[in-house]
Amino acid sequence: MARSNLQISILGSTGSVGASTLAVIDENPAYKVFALTAHRNAKLLFEQCEKYKPEFAVLSEAAGPEFTTLLVNSNLNTKLLVGESGLIEVASNPNVDIVMAAIVGAAGLESTLAAASNGKRLLLANKESLVMTGDLLKQVARDSGAEILPIDSEHNAIFQCLPQMKSSVHTDTRAGVEKVVLTASGGPFLDTPIEQLQSVTPEQACLHPKWSMGRKISVDSATMMNKGLEFIEACYLFDLEPSQVDVLIHPQSIVHSMVHYKDGSVLAQMANPDMRVPIAYGLAWPKRVSSGVAPLDLTVEEPLQFSKPDLSRFPCLRLGIEAAGERGSAPTVLNAANEVAVEAFLEGEIGFLEIPLIIESVRSQIPCEPAPSLAIIRDLDRQARRLSKELILKDFCRGASA
């Protein structure tokens, strides 16, 4: 990355991580925005383009005409691309140095892979693409010389606490690491009586006590599937066995994760719960730049608490840990079923407790491929989605719990 002004494509710029990335860029104008992308929100994407003047904007096809109308009535030189090919173009363009992968879910897979296969610095927020592809994403990055910098706050914390590495994807210098501990806030239902969980609403599930995030990851936090996905993410990113990963509930979300060493030392990374911290770290690594986040003042924080998660309250966490143990295509299927079930919950089609039932049923019906190719991964993702939707249509869960 020899250019003085580093060029960045922000995939999913209208989302929560996307907005935080733009806020860090406001603090550090040396980064130049090359492309901004969104799904359907043409108006917000256009407002962002007016401010950052990127070369390209990308939208899903249906939202293209609305953006074009705004564009022709402006002086902006931004070019509009549409659909997945547009995302791939701005993730792989030779003028781009850094790609922030902040699209939610499997919709971010192909553009994340494009950044990884074109030698970019890949700021990986889109955990689902790593969960789906596992070692393959890392292999693609290794082959092209791309750097993967974890943006998920826990993995970013672990990365910060590991011995300094030449590149994020070479983890063989982890000498002396015994295990890592992922912290989890426990989400909005940590203390809700279990018998009330079936009737919680999407709005309640999205009201996270510590983090303001998109709706899908908010529901994942409420079920703790988010920690299940992060468990898998940690195994892949840092070449760990599931026995080397622990989860602790830490409701204050100040300690973002920890690394235990053989000599008994434990290194933890702390910060106020704000995604601008890991984003700034990923952008500037191995240097540090300002994130705009207020300094942490431990004297005013509530006492920091840690406890073990209750897997009977959070079956999605158990399902994530089980899939991490199986590896192969198990995490792909888990992720696809979860995405469909969460969407159905957000649409009011199923209850909160039916999310793990659907995932478990789909997992039991699709055998695990031990070493799937990308083509098999894409195919199993489609199969798992189809099966999940069939189960929802058949009202499987209501039948099962009746």
Q: What residues line the site for Mg ion (CB under 5 A)?
A: 152-154
Identify whether the C-beta of residue 21 lies closer than 8 Å to the C-beta of residue 12. no
Identify whether the C-beta of residue 319 lies closer than 8 Å to the C-beta of residue 172. no
Q: Which of 6, 7, 15, 269 is the binder for ligand NAD (CB under 6 A)? A: 15
Q: Which one of Mg ion, ligand NAD, none interacts with residue 103, CB within 5 to 8 A by kind?
A: ligand NAD
Q: Which of residues 228 and 397 has its CB atom nearest to ligand NAD in the complex?
A: 228
State how beta strands 56-59 and 32-37 pair. Answer: parallel
Q: What do you get for the CA distance between the two ends of the chain, in Å?
A: 59
Q: Which of 22, 102, 116, 255 is the binder for ligand NAD (CB under 6 A)? A: 102
Task: Report the distance separating Cα 16 and Cα 146, nearest Å.
Answer: 25
Identify whether the C-beta of residue 291 lies closer than 8 Å to the C-beta of residue 169. no
Q: Which of 9, 12, 90, 276 is the binder for ligand NAD (CB under 6 A)? A: 12
Total interface residues for ligand NAD by CB under 6 A: 25
CB neighbours (10 Å) of residue 314? 25
Q: Classify residue 256 by its DSSP letter.
A: E
Task: Report the distance separating Cα 369 and Cα 381, nearest Å.
Answer: 12
Q: Which of residues 227 and 385 has its CB atom nearest to Mg ion in the complex?
A: 227
Q: Which of 6, 24, 38, 255 is the binder for ligand NAD (CB under 6 A)? A: 38
CB neighbours (10 Å) of residue 288? 10
Which residue in the shown chain puts its C-beta closest to ligand NAD? 15
Q: Which of 217, 234, 316, 355 is the binder for ligand NAD (CB under 6 A)? A: 217
Task: Report the distance separating Cα 129 and Cα 97, nearest Å.
Answer: 20
* Helix, coil or strand: residue 32: strand
CB of 237 to ligand NAD, least distance (A): 13
Q: Which one of Mg ion, ligand NAD, none interacts with residue 202, CB within 5 to 8 A by kind?
A: none
* Helix, coil or strand: residue 101: strand
Q: Which of 177, 213, 247, 324 is the binder for ligand NAD (CB under 6 A)? A: 213
CB of 163 to Mg ion, least distance (A): 22
Q: Which of residues 22 and 234 has its CB atom nearest to Mg ion in the complex?
A: 234
Q: Which of residues 56 and 397 has its CB atom nearest to ligand NAD in the complex?
A: 56
Task: Report the distance separating Cα 255 and Cα 20, nearest Å.
Answer: 20
Query: CB neighbours of 391 closer than 8 A, spacing ≥ 6?
Result: 358, 361, 362, 397
CB of 55 to ligand NAD, least distance (A): 18
Q: Which of residues 7 and 156 has its CB atom nearest to ligand NAD in the complex?
A: 156
Q: Which of residues 224 and 284 has its CB atom nearest to Mg ion in the complex?
A: 224
Task: Report the distance separating Cα 379 and Cα 39, nearest Å.
Answer: 23
Within 335-364, the residues that bind ligand NAD by CB under 6 A are none
Q: Which of residues 25 and 157 has its CB atom nearest to Mg ion in the complex?
A: 157
Q: Which one of Mg ion, ligand NAD, none interacts with residue 251, CB within 5 to 8 A by kind?
A: none
Q: Which of 22, 82, 104, 235 is the binder for ligand NAD (CB under 6 A)? A: 104
CB neighbours (10 Å) of residue 94? 7
CB of 127 to ligand NAD, least distance (A): 5
Within 113-152, the residues that bind ligand NAD by CB under 6 A are 125-128, 152
CB of 41 to ligand NAD, least distance (A): 6
Task: Report the distance separating Cα 402 and Cα 382, nearest Å.
Answer: 29
Q: Which of residues 89 and 369 has its CB atom nearest to ligand NAD in the complex?
A: 89
| Conformation bin of residue 184: beta by default, left when phi > 0, alpha when psi is -120 to 50 | beta
Q: Which residue has the tokens 């309640």?
A: 204
Identify whether the C-beta of residue 59 lies closer than 8 Å to the C-beta of residue 76. no
Task: Report the distance separating Cα 62 and Cα 376, nearest Å.
Answer: 29
Binding of ligand NAD by 396 (CB under 6 A)? no
Which residues of the shown chain bind ligand NAD in the complex (CB under 6 A)?
Answer: 12-18, 38-39, 41, 60, 102-104, 107, 125-128, 152, 211, 213-214, 217, 275
